[in-house]
Amino acid sequence: MSGVAVHLDGLTRRFGALTALDDLDLDVAPGELLALLGPSGCGKTTALRLLGGFDRPDAGRVMVGGADVTDMPANRRDMGMVFQAYSLFPNMDARKNVQFGLRMRKMGAAQRNARAEEVLALVGLADHAGHYPYQLSGGQQQRVALARALAIEPSVLLLDEPLSALDARVRHQLRAEIRAVQQRLGITTLFVTHDQAEALSIADRVGVMHDGHLEQLGTPEEVYDRPATPFVAEFVGTMNRVAGRVLPGGRLEVLGSSLNAIGGDGQQQGSMVEVLVRPEALEAVADEDGHATVTERTFLGSLTRIRVTLDDGADLLIDAATRRGLPEPGARVGVRVTSEDALVSGPSTP
C-alpha cells in the first residue's frame, strides 16, 4: 500500500444560504496524515465527504493521484472510510464486514479469507473474526471498521471523528494504533476531528478550519506555538487574553515583561492591545505585594491549573507542574510571562 497525493482545488459547497465550504485549497502529500480540526459546522466533514465522493461540490475540483475524481461516484473512488457512528453492517460478523469490500472487488473466497485474517490481526482482533457487531465493544467495532477500510488497500483513508464515541482510555489507545498502522502502511490519510489534542497528537500537519475557511495549515507545533489567527490560538489549546502595551522594535510589554510581538502590525507605539498568552507561558509566584489573588486551584495530574484574578479584575489561567508549595486559593501572587513571544489579538477593548 502506498500513498497518493490529494489536492482539493477551490472546493465550495453551499446548503441553501449557508456556505459550508468556501473555496478550500488543500494539498495532502503522499503518505501524510493530515488532520482537519475545527468546531461543529466549520466545514471539515463537508470537505471529507466531498473527497470521499458522498457529496458533490458546487465549485472546485478533487484530484487524487493527479486524476480528477470530482464527478466519480463514491463506490469507484477507492477510498476507505471510518465513520464517527458505528458503521459495521449488523447482519455480518467481523470477518464478513472486512470481506465486504473485497467481495465488491470480485476477489476469490480464499484470498478474501486470508486478507480478512491479515487485517483483523493488524488491528488486534484476529480472535474476534466470528463476532457480530453487537458482540463487540465500541473500540472493537471501530477497530473492525478500520480493518474493513484498510482491507481494500485504498488509495486514501478517510477518518471522520472515528474516536469521538469512545471513552478516554480506549480513545488514546486506538489513536496510537491508527497512527502506527497508518505509518506502517504509508497511506495518505485525512482525519477529521474537533478534538485539538487528538489532532495535535496524531497528525503530520493540522488544518484548522473556521466558517468554511482554512484558517491555518501547519505542523502541530506551528499551529500550537505560532497560531496564525486569534481563532486558531483560542481553539487550539487554552488561551488567556491580557492587556499589553506596544513598545518600539516590535515588542510588547505584558504583565511587566518585554516580549516579541506576533501580529498586531500597524499598532501605534504606546497604544494598548489585547494579547493572547497560553496558561503554560505564565507563572504565579507567591508574593504578598503581588498584583493578583489565587481564586481556584485544580489538580489535573502532572499539571495543576491555577486561576488568578488580577487587581484590575481580569481572570487568568496558569498551568504549573504539580509540586508542593503551589499557591493556595486566597494567596496573593505575582504573575509573569515566561515565553518570549505573544500574539496580538487586536486593539485593547475597555
Partner 1 sequence: MWRVTILVLAAIYFLGPLAASLRFSLVQSNGKDGFGNYSRVLHDGALANALWTSLEIAAITTGILLVLMLPTVVWVRLRLPRLALLIETVSVLPIVIPPIVMGAGLAELQLHAGSAIDSALFASPISALTPFYVILALPFAYRSLDVGVRAIDLRTLVDAARSLGASWFTLITRVILPNVRTAVLTAASLAIALVLAEVVIAGTLLYDTYPVELVNQGQQDAGIAVALSVLSLAITWLLLFGISFLGNRAGPTRVGRLL
Could you say whether residue 51 binds partner 1 (CB under 8 A)? no
Task: Please choose, out of 19-27, 33-41, 100-108, 251-259, the segment that lies near partner 1 by the rule CB under 8 A.
Answer: 100-108
Q: Could you give phi then psi for residue 164, rounded to 5 degrees? A: -70, -20
Identified binder of partner 1 from the candidate list 29, 54, 65, 243, rule CB under 8 A = 54
Stretch that binds partner 1, among 88-96, 245-253, 273-281, 335-343 (CB under 8 A): 88-96
73 contacts partner 1 (rule: CB under 8 A): yes
**Using CB under 8 A, which of the segments 87-95, 120-128, 298-306, 341-349 binds partner 1?**
87-95
The SS3 of residue 40 is coil
DSSP-assigned letters across all residues of 132-194? -GGGS-HHHHHHHHHHHHHHT--SEEEEESTTTTS-HHHHHHHHHHHHHHHHHHT-EEEEEES
Cβ-proximal residues to 216 (8 Å cutoff; 6+ apart), any chain: 207, 208, 222, 223, 227, 228, 229, 232
Taking CB under 8 A as the criterion, the residue among 43, 57, 80, 230 binding partner 1 is: 80
Q: Which stretch binds partner 1 (CB under 8 A): 86-94, 136-144, 171-179, 332-340?
A: 86-94
28 contacts: CB under 8 Å, gap ≥ 6: 5, 6, 7, 34, 188, 190
Contacts with partner 1, 156-185, as mask; x by CB under 8 A: --x---------------------------
* Secondary structure of residue 234 in the 3-state scheme: helix
Taking CB under 8 A as the criterion, the residue among 25, 67, 68, 75 binding partner 1 is 75
Instruction: Decide if residue 86 touches partner 1 (CB under 8 A).
Output: yes
Determine if 224 is a binding residue for partner 1 (CB under 8 A): no
Nearest CA-CA partner of 268 in 252, 256, 255: 252
Minimum distance of partner 1 from residue 171's CB (angstroms): 19
Neighbouring residues of 218: CB distance < 8 A, sequence distance ≥ 6: 205, 206, 226, 228
99 in Cβ contact with 113 (< 8 Å): yes
Binder among 101, 207, 264, 290 for partner 1 (CB under 8 A)? 101
In 3D space, the residue among 81, 80, 63 whose CA is nearest the CA of residue 72 turns out to be 63
Binding pattern to partner 1, positions 119-158, x when CB under 8 A?
Answer: -------------xxx----------x--xx--x-----x
Task: Give the residues lining the site for partner 1 (CB under 8 A).
Answer: 52-54, 73-81, 83, 85-91, 100-101, 104-105, 132-134, 145, 148-149, 152, 158
